[in-house]
């Protein structure tokens, strides 16, 4: 989503940097060769797309591990509504919670609504919350490093120089935030408005990925791709690519089979048939010999 990556490494545009990026991508594709048929490699970005606007290097599994020592992994996500959150959108939040559990192998649940102070609004656009300010203001109630907070609002969000953001997250702050303001009409079911639920699932799992230390993905079409527009976000798949799944699965190069099975059943139940089919293809492409379940998340 339109958010700052938790880990940002600026690449210069010199030829040496381009060669380095190419060799990293080649290494990632080689790792998944012969079993990545269920995934689409990213093409050269076009004007207006996220990677055209932001020259990000991505993050390999090794780089993720180096940046995120496994000493204090997040195990629980608390979903906290703030600002306006209409009752009609409650089923969306319940679905987000269930999806995060299946997607990342975490515990997730709704926490009490947060009474956000007016100081968290943007000075230049007071109708928007300042997403970075919101992240700083989230209290980590338990004091436990295993708990992270994901704020949810139906108000619009902004950040920095960007006119709006769908979400923002900070791994160091163990906090993320997302907005459904631009996603459709809360309260309409999947039959009337199938877009809102899918968009909410996409942005919440993406921002949670940043909370867990994943940077934007530049290798495959993937849940961790940055998105500059709703059109670009809608074109992204919900599932993780094999490289990002390997970060989320401790020791395996794909998500553990039980989590994929749970995700497929969830997508089918909430009416996201294309997503259920995508996860089925991933399950079929899953190589033999990969352990059925990693020791633990994230
Ligand atoms: Zn992002
Ligand atoms: Zn990825």
Query: Which-ligand-closest: CA of 218?
Result: 2
Contact 109, 78 (CB under 8 A): yes
Residues comprising the chain, all counted = 298
Cβ atoms of residues 283 and 264 within 8 Å: yes
**Alpha-carbon gap, residue 243 to 297, rounded angstroms:** 15
The interaxial angle of helices 90-104 and 257-269, nearest 10 deg, is 160
**Phi-psi region for residue 178, left (φ > 0), alpha (ψ -120 to 50) or beta?**
beta
How far, in Å, CA of 146 to CA of 37, rounded?
35
Task: Report how far ligand 2's centroid is from the alpha carbon of 218 (Å).
Answer: 7
pLDDT confidence of residue 249: 80
Instruction: From 134, 89, 88, select the one nearest 115 (Cα to Cα).
Output: 134
Q: How far is the CA of 44 from the centre of ligand 2 (A)?
A: 16
Domain extent listing, the chain: 15-285
Residue pair 62/27 in contact by the 8 Å Cβ criterion: no
- In angstroms, the CA 112 to CA 13 distance is 46
Instruction: Identify the CA nearest to 161 among candidates 136, 131, 199, 200.
Output: 131
Structure tokens at 142: 């338990």
pLDDT in tens, the chain (298 residues): 444 433 332 323 333 444 456 889 999 999 998 878 889 999 899 999 999 999 899 999 999 989 887 667 889 999 999 999 999 899 999 999 999 999 999 999 999 999 999 999 999 999 999 999 999 988 766 567 789 999 999 999 999 988 999 999 999 899 999 999 999 887 776 566 778 999 999 999 999 999 999 999 999 999 999 999 999 999 999 999 999 999 988 656 778 888 999 999 999 999 999 999 999 999 988 765 444 444 443 3
Give the CA count within 13 Å in the CB-facing half-sphere of 195.
11
Task: Decide: 75 and 106 in contact? Cβ < 8 Å.
Answer: yes
From 207, 232, 243, 275, the catalytic residue: 207
Q: Assess whether 231 carries a catalytic annotation.
A: no
d(CA 224, CA 204): 11
Rounded to whole angstroms, the Cα distance separating 293 from 149 reads 26
Specify the pLDDT at position 97.
97
**Four-CA torsion 78, 256, 270, 209, nearest 10 degrees:** 40
From 243, 263, 250, select the one nearest 293 (Cα to Cα): 250
Q: Which ligand is nearest to the CA of 216?
A: 1
Close Cβ partners of 194 (under 8 Å, ≥ 6 residues apart): 271, 272
Q: Give the architecture-level CATH label for domain 15-285.
A: 3-Layer(aba) Sandwich (3.40)
Q: Which residues surround ligand 2, an ion (CB under 5 A)?
A: 217, 222, 224, 241, 244
CA of 148 to the centre of ligand 1 (A): 17
Q: How far does residue 251's CA lie from ligand 1's centre (Å)?
A: 24
Q: How far is the CA of 219 from the centre of ligand 2 (A)?
A: 6
Please report where in the chains the tokens 């968009």 appear, as a residue: 199
| 231: its two tokens | 């059109």
Ligand number nearest to the C-alpha of 226: 1
Distance 270 CA to ligand 2 centre (A): 24
Interval between CA 203 and ligand 2 midpoint (Å): 14
DSSP string, 207-276: HHHHHTT-----SBS-TT---SSHHHHHHS-SSPPHHHHHHHTTT-SS--HHHHHHHHHHHHHTT-HHHH
* Ligand nearest to C-alpha 239: 2
């Amino acid at each position: 989503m339109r958010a700052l990556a938790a880990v940002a490494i600026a690449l210069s545009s010199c030829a040496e940097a381009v060669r380095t990026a190419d060799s990293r991508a080649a290494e990632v594709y080689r790792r998944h060769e012969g079993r990545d048929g269920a995934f689409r490699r990213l093409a050269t970005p076009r004007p207006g797309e996220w990677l055209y606007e932001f020259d990000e290097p991505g993050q390999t599994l090794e780089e993720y591990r180096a940046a995120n020592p496994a000493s204090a992994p997040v195990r629980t996500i608390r979903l906290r509504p703030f600002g306006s959150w209409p009752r009609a959108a409650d089923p969306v939040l319940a679905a987000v919670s269930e999806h995060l559990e299946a997607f990342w192998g975490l515990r997730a649940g709704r926490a009490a609504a947060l009474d956000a102070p007016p100081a968290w609004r943007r000075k230049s656009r007071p109708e928007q919350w300042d997403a970075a300010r919101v992240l700083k203001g989230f209290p980590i109630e338990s004091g436990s490093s295993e708990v992270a907070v994901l704020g949810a609002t139906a108000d619009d969000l902004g950040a920095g120089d960007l006119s709006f953001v769908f979400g923002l997250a900070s791994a160091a702050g163990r906090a993320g935030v997302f907005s459904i303001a631009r996603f459709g009409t809360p309260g309409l079911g999947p039959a009337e408005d199938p877009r809102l639920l899918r968009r909410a699932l996409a942005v919440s799992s993406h921002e949670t990925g940043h909370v867990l230390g994943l940077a934007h993905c530049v290798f495959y079409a993937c849940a961790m791709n940055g998105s500059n527009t709703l059109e670009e976000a809608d074109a992204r798949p919900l599932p993780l690519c094999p490289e990002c799944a390997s970060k989320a699965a401790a020791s395996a190069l794909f998500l553990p089979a039980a989590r994929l099975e749970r995700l497929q059943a969830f997508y089918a139940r909430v009416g996201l048939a294309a997503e259920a089919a995508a996860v089925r293809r991933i399950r079929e492409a899953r190589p033999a010999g990969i352990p059925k379940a990693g020791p633990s998340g994230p």
